[in-house]
Amino acid sequence: MSDSTKIGTWMSAGSPAIVELAAECGLDWVLLDLEHGEYGESRIADLLRCLRGSRTLGIVRVPGLQPDVIGRVLDRGADGIMVPHVESAEMASDVVAAMRYAPTGKRGVSRSVRSYGYGTRRMNDRPPAILLAQIECTDGLANSAAIAKTDGVDALFIGPADLRHALKHQPSSPDFETAVQTIHESAVETGKASGILVREPKELAGRIRQGMTWIARGSDLGLLKAAYESFLQREQSS
């Protein structure tokens, strides 16, 4: 596995203990999910605090292109943002503008937020936030090259469930693996990273061989469910 490969997981439950455990175990990143997670924006700062002192990045998936939410999440100290259903370069540019201060963006300025130590650190001391643009629909697939070329986009991240669903309802669309390869190549050709959410270890290894570097292995609830099911199966068969 390359040093550039980042292995993470989805945090659906919103449990501080699980977020902290993931960091203690050495995951490269966790995804705090405001689109489908079992918690709201008010929990984000406390969940990010669970990563303090670790090397684990805290990436927050916002519900969509909502500049106010993007700004607040970054103020709380997120290392990066994932935006779902990015469909065009124009949308990607709008996301970047919401993440950046003037003159290149429109993000509101406050030095007294957690991201800057409540006013104890200079704004320039913090590295730029990471942007993972999530490709989940046929428009995003068609525009993946233009999205990847957008200044400020760091990676194209494939949402497999929504992309499969979208392709299934478009008879002229390519098959899923062809679409995945197209998105991956769009990223690579522009010097950007690519990534995907996977469910099984075998698929994770395959995506690494494919060249993807931002990979999430399931979710906290999914991994816990699998562990419980495996435990019960062993007990019932003994």
The reported pLDDT for the residue numbered 2 is 55
Give me the domains of the chain, ranges plus CATH numbers: 6-237 (3.20.20.60)
Q: What is the CA radius of gyration of the chain?
A: 18
Longest dimension (CA), the chain: 66
Question: Could you tell me the end-to-end alpha-carbon distance of the chain, in angstroms, rounded to an integer?
Answer: 37
- CB-CB contact of 165 with 151 (8 Å): no
Structure token digits, residue 53: 């002192």
pLDDT averages per 10-residue partition of the chain, 238 residues: 84 98 98 98 98 98 98 98 99 98 95 94 91 98 98 98 91 88 98 96 95 97 94 87
Amino acid at 98: A
C-alpha dihedral sign at 149, 196, 72, 19: negative
Which position has the token pair 């990471």? 130
Element (H, E) at 219: strand 214-219
Backbone angles phi, psi at 160, to 5 degrees: -65, -40
Please state the pTM of the whole predicted model.
Answer: 0.94
Amino acid at 148: A
Strands (E), 1-129: 6-11, 29-33, 57-61, 80-83
- CB-CB contact of 108 with 71 (8 Å): yes
Within 13 A of 234's CA, how many CA atoms are on the CB side?
5
Instruction: Return the number of other C-beta atoms located less than 10 Å from residue 233's C-beta.
Output: 10
218: left (phi over 0), alpha (psi -120 to 50) or beta: left
The reported pLDDT for the residue numbered 82 is 99
Within 13 A of 37's CA, how many CA atoms are on the CB side?
25
Catalytic residues: 36
Which position has the token pair 């650190």? 121
